[in-house]
Structure 1
């Protein structure tokens, strides 16, 4: 346990701590109990949440006790946005999202084994608190002059829209969570994203005021691309963990297309590879970038962590089938649909000539150009070379009665999609 904070820092998983020396001592003297919370502000977690789950998982493997909290009550309020008021979600909608988030958390953190994590829902201890009890027992520990200094609150107060008391009270609710878990389970560390720092401090201050005890807070960094742009809901480029919101294929492709400038840092954050192996990947990025060994290892590791080995094998087979020499007809319907979803293409009726299909999907500019491509041996349908310029796309060419994969050369792909039945 004595090395865990050094390990987290080397991997780039620590952004802020309340008192690094005290936290290091507590971890060394452990085990301690920590918690990380997730609000159902969406129906899926994203890779920012995944970073926190990875830290929780590492702490668990180091022998510490982990509590994963889903925000059945805080999700009904919503953490203040810096720019506008949230649209409140309905109770049934939040409850449904809570169940979905639970399943995603359980895929990352171990809830069995010798040191099982615990799942809690803050609705269980907040639903029965009356307004008077909330104000008397908890509100009295908060000072408004400190609350309005929180970044998101301050920005909203300076805007034309202002901030509602509902969202203003969110930091009290999150602080209440830490106090409850401190009293009920001896929890002394809260983990969150760096944009949650103010809310984490609210819990630390509440426990100091109500119990006279010192506890810890730690944040993970925001995940950004090489230009510093954040991945997240607010940026419109969130990488969702729910396969219904981002397919395993699209998830895998994100990692395998990682820029060389980012991939080594992402290997440290998102994988269990040790220093020696990551150093070797760094060497390969410098000396043999065309092999993309680091990207392949990253994509396989993270996709397996989130979606499982079977899903990873399916998407790897799809990538090989589309961009290599694999059998595209062997792909299952879901994987085929996911793999071709982002390809350029068009609806093409069965029986259309391959020449016309090439023009329709944008592979060729004209019928004459399409004929020349076929004559030069550069066209394939479902990885089968087309040699006859008079060939047609029969019904059997549409795999799973959905799509035919047209290819020019090795890398230019398009999808001829069968029109939907009227």
Structure 2
């Protein structure tokens, strides 16, 4: 096979790098760019360094964080250098963007604990996503550069307020800060804005400058609510580094991803007021999987483009089959499998599917109870007890102590009405007790009230 000439190889790689903006647009991952798409594509003809920041305001990432992270991962797949930046310092202040009132300040200990947890999640995400991409041949033939994990506390902890004001503060105009949408909205509200939150944009701007100066980072990715902060960073870079910005390859850019809402207008990732977390101890693998199963027909095609690496041809085929039998929710099942695999791995998909069969299928003979239990282990409807607490009391009382019913009396009334089920079979008799033979795989049983309220009973080992 003839070898490829160095010139042709360079041209092929250039097309590979620069095709990314069009791909991101097609997948619905771009809300706005600080330059035109053509200029951005031209800039990406050679490998660049890109970062995305995540403030550790909670102990876990949630599904809304996946949109900018998947965008960052798309750059990694194309051979660019990516940086996942933890806001160990900025998390102590709190970003006012998109908030009507000031968030409570967290202690250093809380932010450090959150940072450690999110760092592990980020490492897991990029590792699982790489395996997922490899299986779907989405990584191409370009050598990928490992993602760099950084924490802005590493440079902020040694920078005094005077040094910061002298080095970065003098380049920032208060009029520009006041013009930011997030600041104007808060200043117009009854709660106003504190000096700390007002200054947040300076901190994020300084982060962009630091990575620009020390890591040759030229692009920042963030949600659309980060537009003002990203622009503040570009302004600071232009004022502090005019000579580098004017040089070839010295320009800096910002890319924002959309803040998703469902077709009904609900904020994406919220379910009855609760976030869908990536941490399986906060959101069980089963509930994570079921969140995507519940996607509406109006949203599922959009989400397949955003949250999977399936090709356009594959998505079109999925949607065509889905529309022929929408009641089977085939597109939603495919979406749930793709995202669950990316976050929890192939084993997570197997576990979630086993739990789904356990709860919704009447045929349980071929079920692997171990997989089902793992998917539901951190679910609030998971009830683990020893032999005495499982076998020595009536199911009516077990329903009450496990939280399935509000009281034993309510459970008794359910039994009398034929509405309490053990392994999908109606319980007869208020004194009926759980037997070892009722346990699937000698481990678990499903106790259900009505159509969809249940608890998983598990024997402690």
TM tier, smaller: 0.7 to 0.9
Residue 320 of structure 1 deviates from its aligned partner by 0.9
Q: Which residue does the alignment assign to 1:99?
A: 116
User: Partner residue of 1:187?
Assistant: 217
Correspondence 1:248-397 to 2 at 5 A: 248-324=285-361, 325-326=363-364, 330-331=369-370, 333-338=373-378, 341=381, 361=405, 370=415, 373=418, 380-383=421-424, 385=425, 389=429, 392-394=432-434, 396=436, 397=438
- Which structure 1 residue ranges, 5 or more long, are not aligned? none
Q: Equivalent residue for 1:245?
A: 282
Contact 2:61 2:278 in 1 (8 A): yes
- Seen in structure 2, the aligned counterparts of structure 1 residues 185 and 77 have a Cα distance that, compared at 3 Å, is same
TM-score (norm 1): 0.86
User: Of 75, 80, 86, which aligns to 1:59?
Assistant: 75
Number of aligned residue pairs: give it. 408
Distance 2:191 2:93 in 1: 17
Does the 8 Å contact 2:81/2:145 carry over to 1?
Answer: yes
1:128 aligned to 2:145?
no
Separation of aligned partners in 2, 1:151 and 1:331: 51
Distance 1:203 1:416, change over 3 A: closer
Q: For residue 145 of structure 2, what is the aligned residue in structure 1?
A: 115
Query: Are 1:361 and 1:415, in contact at CA under 8 Å, matched by a contact in 2?
Result: no
Partners of 1:400 and 1:164 in 2: how far apart?
58
Find out whether 1:406 has 2:436 as its counterpart.
Answer: no
Deviations 1:53-111 (A, max 9, x none): 11111111111110110011111111115321221111111111111111111123259
For residue 85 of structure 1, the aligned residue among 102, 109, 112 is 102
8 Å contact kept, 2:415–2:428: no
**TM-score calculated relative to the size of structure 2:** 0.79
**Pair 1:38-2:64 in alignment:** no
> Cα deviation per residue 1:249-288 (whole Å; 9 max; x = unaligned)?
1111101111111111100000011011100122123211
1:398 and 1:404 in contact (8 A); partners too:
yes
Counterparts of 1:367 and 1:129 in 2: how far apart (Å)? 66
* Distance across 1 between alignment mates of 2:444 and 2:124: 32
In 2, Cα distance between equivalents of 1:372 and 1:87: 49
1:119 to 1:292, Cα distance in 2 relative to 1, 3 A:
same
Structure 1 residues 234 and 205, CA gap change in structure 2 (3 angstroms): farther
Give CA deviations for 1:113-158 in whole Å, capped at 9, x if unaligned. 7411111111111111111111111011111111012122112212
Q: Which residue of 2 aligns with 1:153?
A: 183
Q: CA deviation at 1:393?
A: 2.0
Q: After superposition, where does 1:136-215 map in structure 2 within 5 Å?
A: 136-212=166-242, 213=245, 214-215=251-252
Task: Confirm or deny: 8 A CA contact 1:405 1:413 kept in the other structure.
Answer: no
Compared with structure 1, are the counterparts of its residues 35 and 350 closer, same or farther at alpha carbon in structure 2 (3 Å cutoff)?
same
Describe the SS at the equivalent of 1:258.
coil
Q: Distance in 1 between matches of 2:271 and 2:390?
A: 40
Give the aligned CA root-mean-square deviation in angstroms: 3.4
Identify which range, 238-247 or 54-63, moves more after superposition: 238-247
Partner of 1:222: 259
Q: Could you say which residue in structure 1 is the equivalent of 2:64?
A: 48
Higher deviation after alignment, 97-106 or 352-361: 352-361
Once structures 1 and 2 are overlaid, which stretch shifts more, 10-19 or 278-287?
A: 278-287
Kept in 1, the 8 Å contact 2:219–2:255? The answer is: yes
Provide closer, same or farther for how the CA distance between residues 259 and 217 of structure 1 changes in structure 2, counting only shifts above 3 A: same
- After superposing the two structures, state which structure 1 stretch, 246-255 or 77-86, moved more: 77-86
